[in-house]
Amino acid sequence: MAYNIADIAKTLKIKSVTYPEYNISHLLTDSREVFNPEETLFFALKTKNNNGHKYVEELYKLGIRNFVVDSLAPEWETLTDVNFLLVKNTLQALQAVSTFHRDHFNVPVIAVTGSNGKTIVKEWIYQLLGSERRITRSPRSYNSQIGVPLSVWQMNENTELGLFEAGISMPNEMAKLQRIIQPTIGVFTNIGDAHQENFKSLKQKCLEKLELFINCDVIICEEGNPLLDECMTSACLSQKRFTWSYNLRSSSPLLIQSVDRTDTVSYITYSFLGLPFTIELPFVDDASIENVTSAIAVALYLTTSIEIIQRKVRQLEPVAMRLDVRQGKNQNIIVNDTYNSDINSLKIALSFLGQQATEDSQKKTLILSDILQSGYSDEALYRSVLDSARAANVEKIIGVGKHISKQQQIFENIPHAFFETTEEFIESGIWNDFHAETILLKGSRSFEFERIAELIEQKTHETVLDINLDAIVHNFKFYRSRLNPETKMICMVKADAYGSGSVEVAKMLQYHKCDYFAVAVAEEGSLLRKSGIKTPIIVLNPEVGGFNQLFESYLEPEVYNFRILDAFIREAQRRGISDFPIHIKMDTGMHRLGFTEEDLPRLVERLLSQKALRVVSTFSHLAASESWAFDEFTTGQISTFKKLAAALQQGLDYPIWKHILNSAGIERFPEEQMDMVRLGISQYGVSASGLSGLRNVCTLRTTILQIKHIEAGETVGYGRKGKVEHDSDIATLRIGYADGLSRQFGNGAGHVLVKDKLVPFVGNICMDLSMIDVTGLDVKEGDPVIIFGDSLSVTDLAKTINTIPYEILTSVSSRVKRIYFRE
């Protein structure tokens, strides 16, 4: 559906003026995700970490002509054929436009909220009802003040049922989402401590969430939760409840009579209005049983037959909560999203594909299964797929499934191949020809695309380092929000991004407009350039023998003494180069590298005597900025640097940038941010000074190979160091010091997490294996084990062996598989 820009202006209560004629079918809040620009309305949102107004000119160049802004910049006066809708608050404007759109529909709309399980319940409702109705639903977990209006905007003339989730983290948020969604059916999953920090009590949060349902015809929830019962009574909503319960004596229309489990399947017997029936659920955990019961209650309320529910529940697919990136064979990169397939989540996955396949690095390939339960004709559906693929610059499409194969004529102008089954694709051997491609695997669970992933993924053993790219972005924006808008950020990606993978991390940060990267040596910078990184790169430890790489990859060296300065000038002059960028390092007390005050007159004279090099910045390094005990020393360093930088600036005939703050410096001395700052360990979720608010980035995990019962008095491992004092169960893990697990963790010095319990290492750490004591735990071979992660921080781990998180992170060896994911 499309609206005239004048109608949208009227909706925003903007006084009537003459607008260039444009129809709007797309709302945009992220400047990097432009699609169909001539019909796009961009909302310049201001958030804690960013300001959309600074991307207006960039978007204008990409063809966008309609903008919602809260102020007008003088430089925009030269832009022609453009509409600027001036409002007081751009977020409120986005919500108002989405509400205006929602008002055009008179169809049932389901809203799901709660503390946990919202996305899973929403997706399972869709899987139960999708073949019966044309459903528009929230993509992934778009449940915020921004995500909800973007989700509701997806409703169109074909929509027969809306299905949206809503989440809040602050008081007074839910009423805004209620006006946008206007649900007729409410689903309340549960109430818990998630996002509790901004609420005075659970009751306050529960009442806030219930505001979503104030005008609903029915509210589906579990009976018997005292807090929810109390809040519903307070909100005068009790009479609207359609409940389910485990209590067979309750008055709920839907009762869980019994649950029988095997290793992989649950058999749940229900009673609905006194009529018993049994369903087979392909999951066994308690949370899945509660989530599926909420979905079944919705289906029953909408008069879906029990036979259809039984069949659909057996076919329920797990909900993929993340996209992940894995290294493939033959220099391929695999973006793995093999658990669901629909047009909205496809667009999100294609956007992520674009972040991984940077410009002129690797061609993009889409392997897509049939999209099931779309509610659209196959022709309309796959034309939309083609449009989305073209917008993402996909160069090859491989379709798997009978439906997409019948529409292959739609894809005739793009390289393609089609197969009716996954087996047929595998037998074709076409996957052997993939080389240097970024491949998006996007398939419905029934197509078992994990079989394709297994064929094209580079094989490694089962010890894995998970890297949360969303956490990288969160931490980057967290520090950006603490800086002045004009302050530039240098992100450290040296040492393979502290073990996280420099290419993947740099791609994500470049996408989010990091100003500079810094690496240790020229080889690291060259690798980033070959991988498509265009952002300026500083080389902190350049070598005279590495000048060729510096020039060819346009890497900007740190210069810290006259030997390397003179050698670099000679090489630049020999090549006929002028104004090559360099960064001058000052020694203000670290006493490692850098020019001193005594060097300044000679340094200025040498720089002025040549034209080959041009100083971009001067900087120094703080020795102890994380420690309050050395604040006097740190402020002395800063004072010394300001004096040296001023002298250098005075001696040169052009301006240069200054920077001294590292991660701890940003946290503790933000008033000294100058022109640039350097973000290091804190980028990876480890606060250098104990600051809260960061997200963990890396999780190192492995699996149990074998479990043995060892009698008291026996020993475990090399050197018989691990003596067992009592009868014990000892598990052997697939990780050793060759994977980066320090031998210092052995003999009880270190612990790991198994089933959320801390258990100690037993005996010496071996090269490829290690042993832990799992006595009293219900574990089996193949169970996961966390070395460090969200619940066992790398900082705490480092303290146990008297080292620092840097060493733990950078020690994880290259043979450990890295999996990059977005939530």
The residues spanned by each domain of the chain are 3-92, 105-314, 323-459, 470-684, 698-822
For residue 580, report the phi and psi dihedrals to the nearest 5 degrees. -70, 135
Torsion from C-alpha of 134, 136, 137, 138, nearest 10 degrees: 160
Give percent of the chain with pLDDT exceeding 70: 97
Listed range (117-131, 334-348, 528-542, 697-711) with the worst mean pLDDT: 334-348
Contact 102, 157 (CB under 8 A): no
Given the structure tokens 């670099």, which residue do they identify?
568
The pLDDT value given to residue 461: 64
Burial class (CB in 10 A: 0-12, 13-18, 19+), 689: middle
Give percent of the chain with pLDDT exceeding 90: 73
- What is the C-alpha separation between 416 and 549, in angstroms, rounded? 38
The pLDDT value given to residue 142: 86
- What is the C-alpha separation between 288 and 282, in angstroms, rounded? 9
Higher pLDDT, 195 or 477: 477
The pLDDT value given to residue 373: 64
Listed range (68-72, 510-514, 631-635, 703-707) with the worst mean pLDDT: 510-514
Does 105-314 match 323-459 in CATH topology? no
Given the structure tokens 């919500």, which residue do they identify?
95
pLDDT, tens digit, for every residue of 241-279? 999 999 888 889 999 999 999 888 999 999 999 999 999
- What is the C-alpha separation between 792 and 751, in angstroms, rounded? 9
- What is the C-alpha separation between 571 and 577, in angstroms, rounded? 9
Listed range (114-118, 377-381, 455-459, 702-706) with the worst mean pLDDT: 455-459
The pLDDT value given to residue 31: 84
- Segment 308-314 mean pLDDT: 94
CA 91 to chain centre: 22
pLDDT surpassing 70 at residue 750: yes
Contact 31, 55 (CB under 8 A): yes
Angle 668-671-672 from CA coordinates, rounded to 5°:
90
The pair of structure tokens assigned to 789 is 């992660």
Rounded to whole angstroms, the maximal C-alpha distance in the chain is 94
The pLDDT value given to residue 194: 56
Given the structure tokens 């260039």, which residue do they identify?
20
The pLDDT value given to residue 358: 55
Contacts of 109 (CB under 8 A, 6+ apart): 161, 162, 163, 164, 181, 182, 183, 184, 185
pLDDT, tens digit, for every residue of 378-427? 898 899 899 889 888 899 999 999 999 999 999 999 999 999 999 999 99
- Topology given in CATH for the domain delimited by 698-822: Lyase, Ornithine Decarboxylase; Chain A, domain 1 (2.40.37)
Higher pLDDT, 644 or 371: 644
Contact 399, 361 (CB under 8 A): no
Given the structure tokens 């079918």, which residue do they identify?
25
Collapsed DSSP state (helix, strand, coil) of residue 444: coil
- Topology given in CATH for the domain delimited by 323-459: Protein-Tyrosine Phosphatase; Chain A (3.90.190)
279 DSSP 8-state letter: E
The pLDDT value given to residue 207: 93
pLDDT, tens digit, for every residue of 176-219? 999 999 999 999 998 765 556 678 888 998 999 999 999 999 99
What confidence tier does 287 reach under pLDDT thresholds 50, 70, 90?
confident
Active site residue 205: no
What confidence tier does 17 reach under pLDDT thresholds 50, 70, 90?
low
Contact 743, 764 (CB under 8 A): yes
The pLDDT value given to residue 340: 63
Alpha helices in 652-682 (DSSP H): 663-668
Which one of the listed residues 494, 507, 585, 658 is annotated catalytic? 494
Alpha helices in 609-721 (DSSP H): 631-651, 663-668
What Å distances lie between residue 614 and 47, 546, 563, 577, CA to CA?
A: 36, 19, 17, 11
- Segment 722-731 mean pLDDT: 92
pLDDT, tens digit, for every residue of 299-308? 999 999 999 9
Amino acid at 445: R
For residue 767, say whether it is annotated as part of any ligand binding site: yes
What confidence tier does 544 reach under pLDDT thresholds 50, 70, 90?
confident
pLDDT surpassing 60 at residue 110: yes
What confidence tier does 111 reach under pLDDT thresholds 50, 70, 90?
very high
The pLDDT value given to residue 543: 85
Given the structure tokens 């929810």, which residue do they identify?
228
The pLDDT value given to residue 121: 94
Active site residue 718: yes
Using DSSP, how many helices (H) and how many strands (E) does the chain show?
A: 26, 39
Torsion from C-alpha of 135, 140, 141, 147, nearest 10 degrees: -70
For residue 592, say whether it is annotated as part of any ligand binding site: yes
pLDDT surpassing 70 at residue 357: no
Listed range (2-6, 337-341, 454-458, 751-755) with the worst mean pLDDT: 337-341
Amino acid at 589: G
- What is the C-alpha separation between 147 and 168, in angstroms, rounded? 11
595 DSSP 8-state letter: B
pLDDT surpassing 70 at residue 18: no
pLDDT, tens digit, for every residue of 594-648? 999 999 999 999 999 999 999 999 999 999 999 999 999 999 999 999 999 999 9
169 DSSP 8-state letter: S
Contact 157, 104 (CB under 8 A): no
Contact 705, 781 (CB under 8 A): yes
Amino acid at 317: E
Question: Which residues of 747-805 form beta strands (DSSP E)?
Answer: 751-754, 757-760, 770-773, 784-788
The pair of structure tokens assigned to 137 is 């639903």
- What is the C-alpha separation between 225 and 213, in angstroms, rounded? 17
The pLDDT value given to residue 313: 95
Half-sphere exposure of 279 (CA within 13 A, CB side): 28
pLDDT, tens digit, for every residue of 143-173? 899 999 999 999 999 899 999 999 988 899 9
Angle 418-422-428 from CA coordinates, rounded to 5°:
65
Collapsed DSSP state (helix, strand, coil) of residue 614: strand
Query: Whose CA is closest to 549, among 566, 527, 532?
Result: 527
Residue 525 φ/ψ region, left for φ over 0, alpha for ψ in the -120 to 50 degree band, beta for the rest? alpha
- Cα dihedral sign, 537-543-549-551: positive
pLDDT surpassing 70 at residue 652: yes
Class (C level, CATH) for 105-314: alpha beta
What confidence tier does 33 reach under pLDDT thresholds 50, 70, 90?
confident
CATH dotted code for 470-684:
3.20.20.10
Which CATH homologous superfamily contains domain 3-92? MurE/MurF, N-terminal domain (3.40.1390.10)
Amino acid at 302: L
* Helix, strand, coil percent values for the chain (each to nearest 5): 35, 25, 40
The pLDDT value given to residue 249: 84
- What is the C-alpha separation between 385 and 410, in angstroms, rounded? 10
What confidence tier does 284 reach under pLDDT thresholds 50, 70, 90?
confident
- What is the C-alpha separation between 469 and 473, in angstroms, rounded? 6
What confidence tier does 546 reach under pLDDT thresholds 50, 70, 90?
confident
Kind of pairing between the strands at 556-559 and 185-188: unpaired
- What is the C-alpha separation between 806 and 425, in angstroms, rounded? 44
The pair of structure tokens assigned to 257 is 């009579």
Given the structure tokens 């793995």, which residue do they identify?
336
Contact 787, 777 (CB under 8 A): no
Higher pLDDT, 657 or 50: 657
Query: Order of strands across the sheet with 241-245?
Result: 135-137, 161-165, 109-113, 185-188, 218-222, 241-245, 254-261, 266-272, 275-281
CB 233: neighbour CB atoms within 10 A? 11
Q: What is the mean pLDDT of the chain?
A: 91
pLDDT surpassing 90 at residue 529: yes
- What is the C-alpha separation between 591 and 597, in angstroms, rounded? 13
Which one of the listed residues 267, 718, 780, 799 is annotated catalytic? 718
The pLDDT value given to residue 130: 83
What confidence tier does 224 reach under pLDDT thresholds 50, 70, 90?
confident
